[in-house]
Structure 1
Amino acid sequence: MTKIRSTTVLAVIHNGEVAIGADGQATMGNYVAKSNVKKIRKLLDGKIVTGFAGSTADAFTLLERFDEKLKAYGGSMKRAAIELAKDWRTDRYLRKLEAMLITADKDEILVVSGTGDVLEPDNQVAAIGSGSMYAQSAALALKKHATHLTAEDIVRESLNIAADICIYTNHNLIIEKLK
């Protein structure tokens, strides 16, 4: 079985706005399997937005578990993420899942991984996936030097830069905002 490559997901908080976006490309081996995958989901009646990189089936399993944790912990994103990370690391079934999540609410961004990490990134910019370093670098520069841009503008431009460089990232972007 060919392993599906990652993607690029980027979240930014800027000037009171939160935006998270991802490209739509899924690759299998050396070909593009699909060009318009939706890797961004809103949870908790639109109060939390989440993006994923990695195996789609694994990511959906994690999103379902995260949604359950959100409901169990009264919508506390940080608490739900910590509890998900604990389960992800200790549960024999979940431990085998190959995906990463970025989740954001109106106040913060978190990166959640299967190693038990729940990270709140510096500068309110987080990226995951194969093009993450390109997108994150662009977002940090735009946030610092183009302060007139919205969070959505920064995410869009940064993902387009990543798509120009990373072969596992395309220009079919989905971006969601929270105010």
Structure 2
Amino acid sequence: MCLWCLSESTTAFLPFQTTILAVKFNGGVIIGSDSRASMGGSYVSSKTINKLIQVHDRIFCCIAGSLADAQAVTKMAKFQLSFHSIQMESPPLVKAAASVMKELCYSNKEELQAGFITAGWDRKKGPQVYTVSLGGMLLSQPFTIGGSGSTYIYGYVDAKYKPDMSREECLQFATNALALAIGRDNVSGGVVHLVVITEDGVEHVVIPGDKLPKFHDE
């Protein structure tokens, strides 16, 4: 199915100029991103883009790449998942949502310039994180990072991640990772958006740029 008619924006941001992540903890998952949108690597077009898109009650996607492409994919995914939940008379599984994203990306791989992280919670498997790549590859992971800022924090996340973190430990892990990326990557910045997803519901946390932890002198 062609997605171009669904796009609300004609502004194309260069691929992956952002920092996005998702990580599981004991009882839930945290998905997060910075809020800067840039064009050409030097012009900041917005400081307040929310890159965390809710596609169902307890399922979110992080977006990286062309905003227009990402809007088209997530809009279609939301429609398909809503229809699916009505047919099945139950909320969709996180893997089902990730599979929908995968199929949309694969079917339009020649035109799309966007990648996604899908994360959420369901009653069958609890918290889950999936990477959906540019060409439609689907990979389940305990945590994942993406975007241009991720190149600066692979060492940090590999060293500091541990299974079954508490909610607070995971929040600190995600905040530190995004703060480190923002401090080094000139196309990541603004505020940090974090969404905490558990059986009990969804909590959105916003951390202003001046409240982020500092790891070096500016």
TM-score, normalization by structure 2 = 0.70
Q: Summarize the Cα distance change of 1:69–1:133 in structure 2 as closer, same or farther, 3 Å threshold.
A: farther
Matched with 1:167 is 186
SS at match of 1:152: helix
Partner AA of 2:113 in structure 1: E
Contact 1:17 1:177 in 2 (8 A): yes
Residue 35 of structure 1: how far off its partner (Å): 1.2
Residue 84 of structure 1: how far off its partner (Å): 3.4
TM-score, normalization by structure 1 = 0.84
Matched with 1:133 is 151
- Report the Cα distance in structure 2 between the residues aligned to 1:65 and 1:134, rounded to whole angstroms: 32
Q: Summarize the Cα distance change of 1:87–1:40 in structure 2 as closer, same or farther, 3 Å threshold.
A: closer
Alignment partner of 1:4 out of 14, 21, 35: 14
Paired residue total: 173
CA distances 1:37-72 after superposition (whole Å, capped 9, x unpaired): 110122312x11211011111101111122233234
Matched with 2:46 is 34
Larger RCO, structures 1/2 (Cα 8 Å, 6+ apart): 1
Note the residue ranges of structure 1 that are not aligned, 5 or more in a row: none
Note the residue ranges of structure 2 that are not aligned, 5 or more in a row: 1-10, 86-91, 122-126, 199-218
CA distances 1:94-127 after superposition (whole Å, capped 9, x unpaired): 6312111111112210111231201112xx1111
| RMSD of aligned alpha carbons | 2.3
Contact 1:88 1:95 in 2 (8 A): no
Q: Summarize the Cα distance change of 1:70–1:137 in structure 2 as closer, same or farther, 3 Å threshold.
A: farther
Report the structure number with the largest CA radius of gyration: 2
Matched with 2:173 is 154
- Report the Cα distance in structure 2 between the residues aligned to 1:170 and 1:178, rounded to whole angstroms: 23
